[in-house]
Amino acid sequence: MYNVIIVRIDNLVWLGLIIVILAFSCKSSTEVEPLPSPPVQQSVANIAEKHELDYDISQWKEIINTNGPLLDIRYATDNNFTKAQIYDCARCFLRPELALKINTIHSDIKKKYGYGLKLFDCYRPRPAQQKLWDIVPNAMYVTPPKKGSMHNKGLAIDLTIVDNKGVELDMGTEYDFFGKEAHRTYVHPDPVVRKNRKLLKLLMEAHGLTGIRTEWWHYSLKTVSYDFSDWVWNCD
Ligand SMILES: [Zn+2]
């Protein structure tokens, strides 16, 4: 009789132990630290969406790198003739009419030759023009802020052509080279350079853009009118 009771008590003790162990194992499994969630990938679409929200779309259009021209906004780096960074970040804004033309030219040249456009400078806020002038107060190289540049209106663009690998076509000089070799009328000894410059000129002029005498890379749209602007884009 006592033996039977002892055996049952033993069984109950074992049963209790098993329940306690199970309970702890369940508890500990629920307390496992959750794995850190993977970093949120900011998609290009998100960036574009974010940027579209932070400027006045009735006044400006942003040229986005994705499927569009390459951006090499030199004044957002110190890789420019002033050796100083002028813009806080690299973004390319143009007045909508000019932006439409640039995107069209880029698509056309891509379809026809497999080439593309590369943009060095777009809209340049007047405070940035002042900054350039403060560093290089020489009207031969920088338009005086009081006079104002077509860039300050968002109606000028500095650009070149790139091949299907994104390599710049040889235009004979670097961007922002100040010398007669950069002049539009300069006859470069290399026929390839002459051909490349002619292609850029023909493309731009076919879309109603006009160049200036001293810079092969600069074109502007003079068929629309906008005021000079002090607006500076967001870099957050
Ligand atoms: Zn320019």
CA of 116 from ligand 1 middle (Å) equals 19
pLDDT at 92 over 80: yes
CA of 159 from ligand 1 middle (Å) equals 8
What pLDDT, on the 0 to 100 scale, is given for residue 159?
98
pLDDT at 25 over 50: no
Q: Answer whether residue 45 is part of any domain.
A: no
Please give the tally of structural domains in the chain: 1
CA of 18 from ligand 1 middle (Å) equals 81
CA of 46 from ligand 1 middle (Å) equals 30
What's the domain range around 118? Answer: 58-220
How confident is the model over 100-122, as a mean pLDDT? 97
CA of 124 from ligand 1 middle (Å) equals 9
Rounded distance between C-alpha atoms, residue 116 and residue 121, angstroms: 16
Q: Answer whether residue 211 is part of any domain.
A: yes
Residue 121 sits at φ, ψ, to 5 deg, of: -155, 145
Q: Answer whether residue 129 is part of any domain.
A: yes
Q: With b meaning 16 or more CB within 10 Å and e meaning fewer, what string describes 43-57?
A: eeeeeeeeeeeebee
**Residue 154 CB coordination number (10 Å):** 27
Q: Answer whether residue 15 is part of any domain.
A: no
* pTM score, whole prediction: 0.78
Q: Quick one: tokens of 106?
A: 């880029």
Q: Answer whether residue 27 is part of any domain.
A: no
Q: What's the CATH number where 155 sits?
A: 3.30.1380.10
CA of 211 from ligand 1 middle (Å) equals 9
Residues in the chain: 236
pLDDT in tens, 28-78: 444 444 444 444 433 344 445 554 578 999 999 999 988 899 999 999 999
CA of 33 from ligand 1 middle (Å) equals 57
What pLDDT, on the 0 to 100 scale, is given for residue 30?
41
* 162: nearest Cα among 97, 234, 217: 217
CA of 15 from ligand 1 middle (Å) equals 86
Rounded distance between C-alpha atoms, residue 39 and residue 20, angstroms: 39
Beta bridge partners of 93: 62
Q: Answer whether residue 118 is part of any domain.
A: yes
| Angle at alpha carbon of residue 197, lines to 99 and 81, rounded to 5° | 75
CA of 219 from ligand 1 middle (Å) equals 7
Q: Where residue 163 falls among pLDDT bands split at 50, 70, 90?
A: very high
Rounded distance between C-alpha atoms, residue 27 and residue 228, angstroms: 68
Q: Quick one: tokens of 235?
A: 């870099």
CA of 217 from ligand 1 middle (Å) equals 7
Q: Which value, in Å, is the radius of gyration of the alpha carbons in the chain?
A: 31
CA of 152 from ligand 1 middle (Å) equals 10
What pLDDT, on the 0 to 100 scale, is given for residue 229?
98
Q: Answer whether residue 172 is part of any domain.
A: yes
Rounded distance between C-alpha atoms, residue 118 and residue 172, angstroms: 16
**Residue 166 CB coordination number (10 Å):** 11
Rounded distance between C-alpha atoms, residue 173 and residue 177, angstroms: 6
What pLDDT, on the 0 to 100 scale, is given for residue 34?
47
CA of 220 from ligand 1 middle (Å) equals 8
**Residue 65 CB coordination number (10 Å):** 14
Report the chain's mean pLDDT, rounded to a whole number.
85
Query: What is the percentage of the chain residues whose pLDDT exceeds 90?
Result: 74
* 155: nearest Cα among 82, 216, 81, 212: 212
Q: Answer whether residue 8 is part of any domain.
A: no
Rounded distance between C-alpha atoms, residue 11 and residue 155, angstroms: 90
CA of 2 from ligand 1 middle (Å) equals 105
Rounded distance between C-alpha atoms, residue 102 and residue 69, angstroms: 8
**Beta-carbon contacts of residue 52 (< 8 Å; ≥ 6 apart):** 62
Rounded distance between C-alpha atoms, residue 98 and residue 224, angstroms: 9
What pLDDT, on the 0 to 100 scale, is given for residue 66?
83
Q: Are 202 and 235 in contact (CB under 8 A)?
A: no
CA of 156 from ligand 1 middle (Å) equals 6
